[in-house]
């Protein structure tokens, strides 16, 4: 896979992630489940917090059973 004459702009990753998030929200509304958006945000935040906690050795034994 050639990297010599690439056309990927710097910082493209962040804009793609933002663009994908917007598309997911649009898709939720397109499938008439937009009402679940607040719940999804809360749950995904919780999942993120759990994932971070799982990295802490002292806490991870209590977190792993949930994953």
Partner 1 sequence: MIVLGLSAHEHGATAAVVRDGQVIAAAAEERFTRQSHDPNFPRFAIEFCLREAGLPAHALDRIVFHEDPHSRFTRVMTTTLATGFPWSPRLFVRSMAEWLSGRLWVRNTISRRLDVHPDKVSFVPHHLSHAAHALASSPFDEAAVLIAHTIGEWGCSVLCSGTIEDGIEIDVHEQLPYPHSLGLVGASLALFCGFRPYEGVRALSDLAAFGRPSQLEALREIVTLQPDGTYRVQPDWLALDAIAEQPHSSPFTPRFRAAFGEPRDTRVPLPFRSSQKGPAPTPDAQAIRFADLAASWQVLVEEAVLGLARRLHHHAPTPRLCFTGALADNPRLVARLDADGPFDTVFVPPAVGARGAAVGAAMLASAPPRQRSAQSPFVGRAYDETADAEMMAIVEPRYWPRFRLRGCDSDPNVRVEVRPGLALDALVDVVVADLAAGRVVGWVQGRFGLGPHSAGHRLVLCAPANADAAMRLNERVVDRPSWHHSGLAIAEGSAVKVLELEGPPGILHRWGQSTARPRPEVLDQVCEAVHVDGTVRPTVCTARDTPRLHHLLCAFGDRVGLAALLTATLREGELPMAASPADALLVFARTELDTLVINNLLVKKESP
Cα–Cα–Cα angle for 44, 12, 41, rounded to 5 degrees: 15
Indicate whether 52 belongs to the interface with partner 1 (CB under 8 A).
Answer: no
3 binds partner 1 (CB under 8 A): yes
Closer CB to partner 1, 11 or 57, in the complex: 11
Q: Output the smallest distance, CB 20 to partner 1, in A.
A: 6
Q: Distance between CA 10 and CA 22 in Å, rounded? A: 21
Report the nearest approach of partner 1 to the CB of residue 57 (Å).
19
Residues 6+ apart with CB under 8 A from 36: 28
């Amino acid at each position: 896979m050639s990297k010599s004459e690439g056309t990927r702009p710097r910082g493209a990753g962040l804009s793609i992630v933002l663009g994908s998030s917007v598309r997911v929200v649009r898709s939720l509304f397109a499938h008439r489940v937009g009402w679940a958006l607040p719940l999804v945000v809360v749950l995904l935040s919780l999942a993120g917090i759990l994932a971070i906690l799982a990295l802490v050795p002292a806490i991870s034994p209590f977190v792993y059973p949930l994953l």
